[in-house]
Amino acid sequence: MLKSYVARKQDFVGLSNQGATCYMNSLLQTLYMTPEFRREIYKWTYEARHGSQEYCIPLQLQLLFARLQTSNAYSIETTALTKSFGWTHAESFQQHDVQEFCRVLFEAIEKSGKESNQIKFIQDMYEGKYADYVKCLYCENESTREDKFLDLSLTINNKFENIYNDSVEKALKNYVKPENLSGANQYYCENCKQKQDALKGLKIKELPYILVLQLKRFDYDYTANRRIKINDKVSFEELMNLNFLMQKNAGEGESMDMDSQPAEALPFIDPPELKNRNFKFLDCTRKDQITLLEKKIPLPMEIMSKKLYIEAKIAKKKANWDHKVQEFLSTGEYVYELYSVMIHSGSAWGGHYYAYIKCFETGKWYNFNDSNVTEISTKELSKVFGESSSWGSSTSAYLLMYRKVNSEKNIIKVEDTEISEDTINMLASLKKKSEDEEIKRKEDLKKITIRVKYKKDIKDIQVKQYDTISILKNATIIAYGLEIDPQDARLRDVDISDRMSSVLKDEMRIDRNQISHNKKLALEVKLPNEEFEDYDPMKMVLKVIPWKDGYFIEPNIEEITENPDTLRIIRNATVRELIDAISSKYNIPTSFLKVFKKNAYNLAYSSESINTSQQGNEKLNFTNITENTLLFIEKHEDKLQKSKWQAFFEQESSKTTIKVILHENFQSTDYRVSIHPQKTLAELKNMISKKVKIPENEFIMRKNTGQTPELKDMSQSVKQSILPNNDLIISKGIPLKPNQIRLIMYIAVVNQRPLKDSEFFSTYQLFDMPADIEWEVPIFKAKLREKIMDYFPTLHVANMRLREIQNEKLSKWIDDSMRINDISSFDNKKLAIQSLQSSDLVKEKDDIIIAVRRFVPSTWELEPAVEVKVNHKATLHKIGEVLSNEFNIKLANIEAYKIATQSFNRPELSYSRFEKLENRSEKANYGPLYLGDGACLIIKDMSEKIREMTADEKFKYAPKSASSFGKYFSREKDLKIAVRNS
């Protein structure tokens, strides 16, 4: 047997929620509980040509269903399936609409099996057909257009169209109810050759085997500028007779033949109902001898009596159900049984999905709520009809699934034997992999990360808690790439002041040293011929740098202080004792010993001389000599000459310390460099080049201010360059010369399918382009073409127009008579290239380019933008003539509205003031249109009346962040499933 039936607490396996995947879990459980769908998924066969297993959607769905059917777990994960969708972890926390997910998932499954032609069942099972029609009431000629559907979206409440549907049956009736076209809305009949009264509507041509109904509970309130959830009560039946939808003239009459009597549901016996019954013990358990003792003293419930009572009630209700089914079937074949109710609990801005699903095998209903699956009564269905006249947050049915009653096609159960051997073997392999990963996870829990410092660096070293200090030490030596004998290194604890303290013994275990996760330690290294000093908590470590003659050749204080010597001395020692200790260690007589200490709060490397004659008897802490104090020493015999360190520090004190900030395209970290202010930027760049190991002509230096202007004149001194806060940004790239500026080049194309109404064009960044400020525009264009040919050889720009980009939109048309310094004297100016016909290139005086979109009031559509060349000093009448020719609209009918491109949204056209252009003498560059380069116009034919937007259109064309709460409640991201093997 494939499945060992170990008892579990619930009849079905739940699905874990990854964060906000409740909508997905609800649909997946519905599809799993659809026997026909599950069987077809099991029939699908994976082959190598389907691509990687982990990204094959049908395979991962097959494995998920098999686990749901065979697992004894309380719930299982869906991460393998969402990985096949191409989703990241972040996308698991993005909630989506369950109906949208259903459509996208079906499309992805079909695409996955498209090549092999294996997956057709979605069309066969879920696809229906309808026809849009307009019927002339005079000649009765009918114009129709057929289309397909996977679900029907039913309106609940639409105040604009005066629709309120309080039941699914009523919503379906109104769905096919035609609209009467009369009066000003008469239909032009091609047969009659004139306008006539007509009926416009929709007919259902074919109902699918699985009927998906969406209750449109989410809308957009444009007046309040917010999304809303409609929680009005909408009842639905477990058994529906939909034959009325298939009648020839469905919807055209005043009433339809629609049996609205509810079918009695298959029974579910609630435990409270049984407990309130009084069962009598019987000597005989014959069914006809069972009697109920109503209103008598309760007797203990007898098991057999209880069982027979349930069976009797089930049999009676099933008989009633079967009778109603047969009654409906006598009127036609389109009888549907409800088996899934997907429920949304929450508001328009978010919430939680779960599903009530019927098991066809037992007739019982279950609540599938992520991991939890519990049996429920059919009485629970009426509790999710919704609440009358309510809005805001509530719990209500959103997506319903019905199955057509057909004794020949209906499947009651999918057997375990229908799961293929390949799937069984794959599940076993995945189970073994999961067990191995669990073992590894438990081992990883035993690991610990310790931060070990060596000199100025610090690294994270990972070992096991029960490893010894010796293992940790060896791992640290390897991590730092040190070629030393482990005997010449030891690990030491670090105190709160970042000072090395107690020594850790090699043989001790890490966990027994009370070393926790992210504990900081230090690695101490000695020379092979040295001995480690015993740790004495009464001693402190001082850092000592003896003078070397090479320091004057290349004075780099950062490198000099990188590897100091160490000296241990008692904390309460005197200055004289310190001098004696240094004298002894470095073999310098005290009379010739010169010692300087770095000033504690001085960023530059100035110093303070330690004077034994005045400070000899003072304790070290009184002279600010504490742990890790940096001491500079030398042998100074000629008292008449400055000491070498003193001369060095005087030289250093005149330097400027510059923080070098490395751009993200560098692998190194930020650092500081000291340089004399009179040194040139070229010398500074040379120093940086050596540090970052990149040639000087391959990186750019910028000021860390505003637009981060580039430093071009390398002959300037550091002082002249005026670096704010002494910060310098460097990034990879070709540096500019003093007479050049950097232009950022884009290509602009008309946006055929803009995401926003305000988007007339799309711009795509190409590259940055150095340009001499004295170049004329034709020279710049020629060099631009050469670079485009190198970077984008398929991009045709033989004829190009240059436009400035301001505020993310195309603006000024750049004339060929201009020079680069006429365009900009600053770096990073954005320019756009437009590839055009040669006739469009000629620019006369006062010519400008405007962008125009035509608005179609009858459909609320905006056509793609068209660029039009006009003279901005021409009259509005003249502008109207140009637009009339371009858009084939009579001049007398043209109206124009200038938009603010950043904030424009289509709904504002319902109240915007359009300007009539005919016979208008105002200049275009003055009011009311104020046309300039890049102006954006919406035009329309005034003979077409603007109709009121439907609720769907208001939601569709609403601003992307349509809420008084601003960005915190922006629209959810588009739901996408990537199909990698299609």
- Amino acid 409: pLDDT: 92
Q: What does the block give as tokens for 161?
A: 């169209």
Residue 268 pLDDT > 80 = no
Q: Is 760 left (phi over 0), alpha (psi -120 to 50) or beta?
A: alpha
Residue 258 pLDDT > 50 = no
Range of lowest pLDDT (62-76, 382-396, 615-629, 930-944): 382-396
Q: What does the block give as tokens for 237?
A: 């039946």
3-state DSSP assignment of residue 559: helix
Task: Based on DSSP, count helices (H) and strands (E) in the chain, helices before strands.
Answer: 21, 45
Q: What is the mean pLDDT of residues 864-880?
A: 90
Sign of CA dihedral 382, 384, 385, 388: positive
Query: DSSP assignment of 263-311, as one string?
Result: PPPPP---HHHHHTS-B---SS--GGG--B-TTS---PPPHHHHHHHHH
Confidence category of residue 208, pLDDT binned at 50, 70, 90: very high
Question: In the 3-class helix/strand/coil scheme, how is 543-588 assigned residue by residue?
Answer: EEEECCHHHHCCCCHHHHCCCCEEEEEECCCEHHHHHHHHHHHHCC
- Amino acid 250: pLDDT: 62
- Quick one: DSSP state of residue 133? E
In single-letter form, the type of residue at position 483 comes to E
Residue 568's φ and ψ, nearest 5 degrees, are -100, 135
3-state DSSP assignment of residue 813: strand
Q: What does the block give as tokens for 248?
A: 């020839």
Q: Report the DSSP pairing between strands 565-570 and 539-546.
A: antiparallel
- pLDDT tens column, 741-787: 999 999 988 776 666 777 788 888 888 899 999 999 999 999 999 99
Residue 404's φ and ψ, nearest 5 degrees, are -65, 135
Q: What is the mean pLDDT of residues 129-141?
A: 91
- Amino acid 393: pLDDT: 61
Q: What is the mean pLDDT of residues 379-403?
A: 82
Marked catalytic residue, from 22, 102, 189, 936: 22
Range of lowest pLDDT (25-29, 409-413, 531-535, 976-980): 976-980
**Of 283 and 573, which is predicted with more confidence?**
573
User: Which long-range CB contacts under 8 A does 274-278 form with residues at least 24 apart?
Assistant: 274/301, 274/306, 274/309, 274/310, 275/301, 277/301, 277/306, 277/309
Contact between 207 and 406 under an 8 Å Cβ cutoff? The reply is no
- Amino acid 482: pLDDT: 92
Contact between 604 and 652 under an 8 Å Cβ cutoff? The reply is yes
Residue 259 pLDDT > 60 = no
- pLDDT tens column, 820-856: 999 888 888 899 998 877 655 667 788 888 889 999 9
Q: Cα 760 to chain center, whole Å?
A: 25
Residue 231 pLDDT > 80 = yes
Q: Which residue has the tokens 């004289």?
A: 576
Measured distance CA(70)–CA(57) in Å, rounded: 20
Residue 713 pLDDT > 70 = yes
- pLDDT tens column, 276-296: 444 444 444 444 444 444 444
Contact between 763 and 747 under an 8 Å Cβ cutoff? The reply is yes
Measured distance CA(736)–CA(710) in Å, rounded: 8
- pLDDT tens column, 729-744: 888 888 988 898 999 9
Measured distance CA(456)–CA(302) in Å, rounded: 81
Measured distance CA(840)–CA(926) in Å, rounded: 25
Measured distance CA(526)–CA(528) in Å, rounded: 6
**Of 10 and 438, which is predicted with more confidence?**
438
Measured distance CA(896)–CA(868) in Å, rounded: 14
Confidence category of residue 116, pLDDT binned at 50, 70, 90: low
Q: What does the block give as tokens for 471?
A: 């293992």
Contact between 65 and 180 under an 8 Å Cβ cutoff? The reply is no
Measured distance CA(584)–CA(542) in Å, rounded: 15
Q: Annotated catalytic, 22?
A: yes
Residue 972 pLDDT > 60 = no
Residue 50 pLDDT > 60 = yes
Residue ranges with strand state E in 759-828:
761-772, 800-806, 809-813
Q: What is the mean pLDDT of residues 176-188?
A: 86
Query: DSSP assignment of 391-441, as one string?
Result: BSSEEEEEEEEEEE--TTT------GGGS-HHHHHHHHHHHHHHHHHHHHH
Residue 735: cis peptide before it, omega within 30 degrees of 0 = no
3-state DSSP assignment of residue 531: coil
- pLDDT tens column, 67-91: 999 988 899 999 999 999 988 888 8
Residue 34 pLDDT > 90 = yes
Confidence category of residue 901, pLDDT binned at 50, 70, 90: low
Measured distance CA(685)–CA(728) in Å, rounded: 11
What ranges in 797-946 are assigned the alpha helix state H? 820-823, 876-887
Confidence category of residue 959, pLDDT binned at 50, 70, 90: low
Most distant CA pair in the chain, distance:
129
- Quick one: DSSP state of residue 532? P
Helix, strand, coil share (%) of the chain residues, nearest 5: 30, 30, 40
- Quick one: DSSP state of residue 380? G
Q: 195: which strand partners?
A: 188
Residues of the chain with pLDDT > 70, as a percent, come to 85
Length of the chain: 982
Q: What is the mean pLDDT of residues 611-616?
A: 75
Contact between 860 and 880 under an 8 Å Cβ cutoff? The reply is no
Residue 487 pLDDT > 80 = yes
Q: Angle at CA 928, nearest 5°, toward 926 and 933? A: 55
Measured distance CA(234)–CA(166) in Å, rounded: 4
User: Which long-range CB contacts under 8 A does 153-161 form with residues at least 24 apart?
Assistant: 153/99, 153/214, 153/216, 154/213, 154/214, 154/215, 154/216, 155/216, 156/215, 156/216, 156/217, 156/230, 156/232, 156/234, 157/230, 157/232, 158/950, 158/951, 160/948, 160/949, 160/950, 160/951, 161/950, 161/951
Contact between 710 and 721 under an 8 Å Cβ cutoff? The reply is no
Q: What is the mean pLDDT of residues 859-884?
A: 90
In single-letter form, the type of residue at position 739 comes to N
List C-alpha distances in Å: 152 to 23, 146, 247, 931.
19, 15, 18, 47
In single-letter form, the type of residue at position 533 comes to E
3-state DSSP assignment of residue 274: helix
305: nearest Cα among 320, 323, 285: 285
- Amino acid 797: pLDDT: 82
Marked catalytic residue, from 50, 352, 636, 872: 352
- Amino acid 251: pLDDT: 58
Range of lowest pLDDT (27-36, 74-83, 702-711, 837-846): 837-846
Domains and CATH numbers, the chain: 14-123+334-440 (3.90.70.10), 447-525 (3.10.20.90), 539-654 (3.10.20.90), 656-732 (3.10.20.90), 740-750+764-836 (3.10.20.90), 847-957 (3.10.20.90)
- pLDDT tens column, 294-325: 444 455 556 666 667 777 777 888 888 889 99
Residues of the chain with pLDDT > 90, as a percent, come to 34
Contact between 521 and 494 under an 8 Å Cβ cutoff? The reply is yes
Q: What is the mean pLDDT of residues 167-178?
A: 91
Q: Annotated catalytic, 102?
A: no
Confidence category of residue 712, pLDDT binned at 50, 70, 90: confident
3-state DSSP assignment of residue 367: strand
List C-alpha distances in Å: 346 to 351, 380, 802, 883.
4, 18, 52, 50
- Amino acid 672: pLDDT: 78
Measured distance CA(303)–CA(778) in Å, rounded: 98
Residue 539 pLDDT > 90 = no
Average pLDDT, the chain: 83
Measured distance CA(302)–CA(281) in Å, rounded: 6
Q: What is the mean pLDDT of residues 716-722?
A: 84
Q: What does the block give as tokens for 863?
A: 């056509």
Range of lowest pLDDT (138-152, 234-248, 556-570, 596-610): 596-610
Q: What does the block give as tokens for 498?
A: 């970042």
- Amino acid 264: pLDDT: 42
- Quick one: DSSP state of residue 960? S
33: nearest Cα among 56, 58, 59, 13: 13
Range of lowest pLDDT (200-214, 355-369, 828-842, 885-899): 828-842
Range of lowest pLDDT (99-113, 811-825, 840-854, 865-879): 840-854
**Of 8 and 216, which is predicted with more confidence?**
216
Confidence category of residue 275, pLDDT binned at 50, 70, 90: very low
List C-alpha distances in Å: 774 to 202, 714, 739, 822.
67, 20, 8, 9
Contact between 299 and 281 under an 8 Å Cβ cutoff? The reply is yes
Q: Is 386 left (phi over 0), alpha (psi -120 to 50) or beta?
A: left
Q: What is the mean pLDDT of residues 509-514?
A: 85
